[in-house]
């Protein structure tokens, strides 16, 4: 039996999908994320806005329905509940990928886990507090792992992998300076000055759009000699494009119409 949570909830056995109600899906997801826990803890996570007794009653119903529908998915006793040990999950695979990357000392090859680190997000479209927090935590761990891969790749001169891993970090967190710095450095070491400048300019635009701040001096120094007269402008941040007066009147009128 295999439970997938990345990219959406999916339970399969022998290659066939198993359908469960959303309440039971949530139960299986929480157990996959947190492992075996006390029943009162699981009930509190799933039904935080009710009393303990009502939450535990809801949990009992969810467990009973799941055990009838999918024997062998849950392992429970009077006080604790979890997934059966032989139920595989993609979260287990992702944890193994994080562990592998954390042990990479620069000589290992982490490329085999890149698909997991750059794959789908956890339970897209689920907005329970526990799902949102878990999704954010997994994204932070992915960023950390990809940064580590990029850093070690840069140290050993694997510039292609550096650019790939740093680029994936940028997709997850566009304002993270360390990833941009590694990507620009790798482009420069490959002799690709054009890509280095494009990476810098995109970072410059992203920073200005989100924070109204220019790149740090450390990043600017990497490409300073390639920017020409634009180097001083980069310290101030991008200059917004001018809009003709007539265009400004039209935009204001359109905005007012939309608000009305």
Domain assignment present for 256:
no
- Helix (H) / strand (E) element for 21: namely none
Tallying the residues shown for the chain, one arrives at: 260
Domain assignment present for 162:
no
Q: Identify whether the C-beta of residue 183 lies closer than 8 Å to the C-beta of residue 153.
A: no
Domain assignment present for 133:
yes
Q: Which residues of the chain have pLDDT under 50?
A: 231-233, 239-260
Q: Which domain holds residue 216?
A: 174-239
Q: What total number of domains does the chain contain?
A: 3
Q: Can you state the angle between helices 129-155 and 22-34, rounded to 10 degrees?
A: 40
pLDDT confidence of residue 140: 97
Residue 105, exposed/middle/buried by CB under 10 A (0-12, 13-18, 19+)? exposed
pLDDT confidence of residue 251: 33
Rounded to whole angstroms, the Cα distance separating 208 from 228 reads 20
If asked whether residues 6 and 61 sit together in one domain, one would say: yes
- Which residues, 6 or more positions from 72, have their beta carbon under 8 angstroms from its beta carbon? 1, 84, 87
pLDDT confidence of residue 257: 41
If asked whether residues 46 and 96 sit together in one domain, one would say: no
If asked whether residues 68 and 7 sit together in one domain, one would say: yes
Domain assignment present for 254:
no
CATH code of residue 34 = 1.10.10.10
pLDDT confidence of residue 111: 82
pLDDT confidence of residue 229: 53
pLDDT confidence of residue 237: 53
End-to-end CA distance of the chain: 55
Q: What percent of the chain has pLDDT over 90?
A: 80
**202: how many CB neighbours lie within 10 A of its CB?**
14
If asked whether residues 79 and 100 sit together in one domain, one would say: no
Rounded to whole angstroms, the Cα distance separating 161 from 36 reads 37
Q: What is the pLDDT of residues 59-81, one digit of tens each?
A: 999 999 999 999 999 999 999 99
Final residue of a structural domain among 155, 189, 209: 155
Domain assignment present for 77:
yes
- Helix (H) / strand (E) element for 39: namely helix 39-46
pLDDT confidence of residue 81: 98
pLDDT confidence of residue 222: 96
pLDDT confidence of residue 104: 67
The strand ranges marked E within the chain are 2-4, 10-13, 16-17, 37-38, 74-76, 80-83, 88-89
If asked whether residues 194 and 128 sit together in one domain, one would say: no
Domain assignment present for 253:
no
Domain assignment present for 163:
no
If asked whether residues 115 and 99 sit together in one domain, one would say: yes
Rounded to whole angstroms, the Cα distance separating 64 from 220 reads 61
């Amino acid at each position: 039996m295999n439970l997938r949570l990345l990219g959406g909830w999916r339970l399969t056995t022998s290659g066939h999908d198993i359908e469960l109600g959303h309440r039971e899906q949530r139960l299986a997801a929480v157990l996959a994320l947190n492992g075996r826990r006390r029943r009162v803890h699981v009930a509190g996570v799933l039904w935080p806005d009710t009393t303990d007794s009502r939450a535990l009653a809801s949990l009992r119903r969810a467990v009973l329905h799941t055990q009838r529908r999918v024997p062998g998915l849950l392992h429970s006793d009077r006080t604790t509940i979890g997934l059966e040990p032989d139920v595989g999950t993609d979260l287990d695979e992702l944890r193994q990928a994080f562990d592998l990357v954390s042990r990479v000392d620069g000589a290992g090859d982490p490329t085999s886990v890149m698909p997991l680190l750059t794959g789908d997000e956890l339970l897209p479209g689920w907005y329970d507090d526990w799902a949102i927090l878990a999704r954010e935590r997994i994204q932070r761990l992915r960023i950390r792992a990809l940064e580590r891969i990029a850093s070690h790749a840069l140290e050993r001169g694997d510039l292609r992998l550096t650019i790939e891993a740093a680029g994936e970090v940028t997709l997850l967190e566009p304002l993270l300076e360390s990833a941009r710095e590694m990507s620009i450095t790798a482009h420069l070491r490959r002799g690709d000055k054009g890509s280095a400048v494009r990476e810098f300019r995109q970072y410059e635009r992203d920073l200005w759009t989100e924070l109204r701040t220019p790149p740090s001096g450390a990043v600017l120094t990497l490409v300073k000699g390639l920017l020409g007269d634009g180097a001083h402008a980069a310290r101030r941040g991008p200059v917004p494009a001018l809009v003709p007066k007539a265009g400004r009147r039209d935009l204001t009128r359109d905005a007012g119409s939309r608000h009305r």
